[in-house]
């Protein structure tokens, strides 16, 4: 008896075929080793590929995530039921309690669930926690920005209960005017050298050199910041300085000779000592005898607290005009965040030694570390086709990767922008800039310098993208000559 062949039926389970988990046709190429199918059988012609959004399901749920998440919920519940927030003398205690609870929640959530960035040492959780603090600070700045000015003043009074209300007249000497005694005497020089601002300059530029890792970029940044202080005297009178204090003690001594040179020596030393060491965030002790274990443990601990690479950054090796603009973005955002510190002190009437000043500067400095790293990698990937033959190995190593701005860089930039908008809003609403207008001695040098630099930039683009990559000497002279009009701002120094 001869059997006839049966026509396949779409509803008959006998016509379904189990997908082979090792077959690359059944799954995406990147998910082949993770995907599996032991019970589900699908027809070969209608096999569904797993979505890329389900890649996270290949990882087992860490028990620490559930444990810490549960402890976080119990901690918030206990904080909500505590009796010590009922009878308080200072207003806004409930708001401050909610503010700190939100900080704890965002920090724990970021440590458990935020994706990792480029930095791994000392531990990825450290940078996730900083990301949570940045998100918390950005949220508070956003709330203060969007609510009415009167309500914002009340909220700022709740955040800083021990400080005078921003509506009251500013206390004379908030930033201090003792630095305007410009006679060059031993007492005045020692007073400036022992001031908190000189120490801040030294430590700040040492840290910025470790972040930017390029002496030329730091010099341009330092010069721009000193000229910005001169130009903003009409808003913050305390920005005025003695000529020798700004040019010699700050720019030359503190910024260049102490801060930048110390940072450059630190980079050179650590690059030499750690070049042959394997970097990971494994804190497990190393095997060996007791003495070797202590020494190795100390070296390993030191490596964990330092970045994985200390190589110098080459921000624009090909002299590309677009890359030049992209490289200016990173230090301009840092400069704006630094200038905002003085505006916040002036608007909020904070004393110069208030803890908010130290905490904000320190945390923003730490947040700038992954932001600079991510922006540097973004500019390298985005302009890889302009790097030239000397960067062929770099472009080959990262071939196929898409240029993307890191999440730390995004949040850092948005935080500075929102904070700047809040400073502008409250500075205008509270009358800090009511009668303040920049005179021609301020805007005229900037306009002349911008006109010359625009001419140089247009010619640079024409030579680089049109005729030849090599720039003529006269064009380089025009580039540096465009900054000469800014020297007229030096007349604004106190003499």
Residue 236: which of 143, 360, 338 has the closest Cα?
338
Confidence at residue 67, expressed as pLDDT on a 0 to 100 scale: 72
One domain for residues 82 and 17? no
In a domain, 311, yes or no: no
First to last CA, the chain: 117
Q: How many domains would you assign to the chain? A: 2
One domain for residues 73 and 147? yes
Confidence at residue 71, expressed as pLDDT on a 0 to 100 scale: 76
Confidence at residue 25, expressed as pLDDT on a 0 to 100 scale: 41
One domain for residues 72 and 150? yes
One domain for residues 29 and 111? no
Query: Final residue of a domain: which of 124, 142, 159?
Result: 159
Query: Final residue of a domain: which of 159, 194, 217?
Result: 159
One domain for residues 18 and 94? no
In a domain, 383, yes or no: no
Confidence at residue 454, expressed as pLDDT on a 0 to 100 scale: 93
In a domain, 379, yes or no: no
One domain for residues 75 and 151? yes
Largest CA distance in the chain: 120
112: Cβ contacts below 8 Å, ≥ 6 apart: 64, 65, 68, 69
In a domain, 358, yes or no: no
One domain for residues 21 and 68? no
One domain for residues 41 and 79? no
**The model's pTM:** 0.76
One domain for residues 91 and 151? yes
85: Cβ contacts below 8 Å, ≥ 6 apart: 93, 94, 97
One domain for residues 71 and 155? yes
Task: Tally Cβ neighbours within 10 Å of residue 147.
Answer: 13
Question: Strands, DSSP E only, in 367-464?
Answer: none
Looking at the chain, how many residues does it have?
Answer: 495
Q: Which domain holds residue 34?
A: 13-57
Averages of pLDDT over each 10 residues, the chain, 495 residues: 50 46 40 40 44 49 67 73 59 82 87 78 81 93 92 88 63 55 83 86 91 90 90 82 88 92 86 48 48 59 58 77 88 91 84 84 89 86 68 62 82 94 89 76 92 92 78 87 90 83
In a domain, 434, yes or no: no
In a domain, 101, yes or no: yes
Confidence at residue 184, expressed as pLDDT on a 0 to 100 scale: 83
Query: Final residue of a domain: which of 159, 179, 210?
Result: 159
Confidence at residue 301, expressed as pLDDT on a 0 to 100 scale: 60
In a domain, 51, yes or no: yes
Alpha-carbon distance of 117 to 122, in angstroms, equals 13
Classify residue 325 as left (phi > 0), alpha (psi -120 to 50) or beta. Answer: alpha
Compute, in degrees rounded to 10, the torsion defined by CA atoms 26, 30, 33, 37: -30
Q: What's the CA angle centered on 448, arms 444 and 450, to 5 degrees?
A: 115
In a domain, 220, yes or no: no
Tokens of 226: 């000193």
Alpha-carbon distance of 158 to 96, in angstroms, equals 7
One domain for residues 24 and 104? no
One domain for residues 121 and 77? yes
């Amino acid at each position: 008896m001869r059997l006839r062949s049966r026509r396949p039926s779409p509803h008959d389970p006998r016509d379904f075929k189990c997908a082979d988990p090792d077959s690359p046709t059944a799954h995406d190429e990147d998910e082949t080793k993770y995907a599996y199918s032991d019970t589900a059988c699908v027809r070969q012609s209608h096999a569904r590929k797993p979505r890329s959004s389900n890649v996270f399901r290949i990882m087992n749920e860490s028990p620490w995530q559930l444990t810490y998440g549960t402890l976080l919920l119990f901690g918030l519940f206990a904080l909500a039921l505590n009796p010590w927030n009922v009878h308080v003398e200072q207003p806004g205690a409930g708001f401050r309690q909610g503010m700190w609870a939100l900080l704890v929640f965002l920090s724990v959530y970021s440590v458990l669930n935020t994706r990792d960035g480029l930095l791994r040492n000392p531990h990825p959780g450290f940078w996730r926690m900083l990301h949570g603090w940045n998100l918390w600070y950005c949220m508070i700045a956003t709330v203060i920005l969007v609510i009415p000015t009167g309500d914002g003043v009340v909220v700022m009074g709740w955040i800083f209960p021990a400080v005078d209300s921003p509506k009251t007249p500013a206390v004379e000497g908030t930033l201090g005017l003792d630095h305007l005694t410009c006679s060059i005497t031993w007492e005045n020089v020692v007073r400036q050298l022992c001031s908190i601002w000189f120490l801040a300059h030294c430590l700040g530029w040492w840290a910025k050199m470790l972040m930017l890792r390029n002496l030329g970029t730091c010099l341009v940044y330092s010069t721009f910041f000193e000229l910005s202080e001169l130009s903003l005297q009409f808003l913050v009178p305390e920005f005025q300085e003695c000529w020798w204090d700004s040019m010699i003690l700050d720019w030359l001594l503190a910024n260049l000779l102490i801060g930048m040179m110390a940072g450059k020596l630190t980079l050179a030393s650590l690059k030499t000592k750690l070049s042959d060491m394997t970097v990971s965030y494994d804190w497990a002790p190393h095997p060996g005898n007791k003495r070797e274990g202590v020494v190795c443990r100390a070296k390993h601990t030191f490596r964990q607290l330092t970045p994985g690479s200390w190589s110098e950054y080459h921000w624009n090796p090909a002299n590309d005009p677009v890359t030049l603009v992209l490289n200016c973005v990173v230090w301009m955002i840092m400069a704006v965040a630094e200038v905002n510190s003085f505006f916040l002190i002036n608007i909020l009437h904070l004393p110069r030694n208030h803890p908010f000043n130290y905490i904000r500067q320190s945390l923003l400095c730490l947040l700038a570390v992954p932001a600079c790293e991510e922006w540097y990698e973004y500019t390298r990937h985005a302009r890889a086709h302009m790097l030239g033959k000397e960067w062929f190995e770099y472009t080959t190593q990262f071939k196929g990767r898409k240029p993307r701005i890191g999440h730390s860089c995004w949040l850092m930039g948005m935080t500075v922008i929102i904070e700047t908008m809040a400073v502008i809003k409250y500075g205008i609403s509270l009358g800090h800039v009511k009668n303040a207008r920049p005179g021609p001695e301020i805007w005229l040098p900037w306009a002349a310098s911008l006109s010359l630099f625009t001419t140089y930039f247009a010619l640079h683009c024409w030579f680089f993208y049109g005729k030849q990559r090599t720039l003529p000497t006269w064009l380089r002279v025009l580039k540096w000559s465009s900054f000469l009009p800014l020297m007229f701002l030096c007349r604004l120094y106190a003499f």
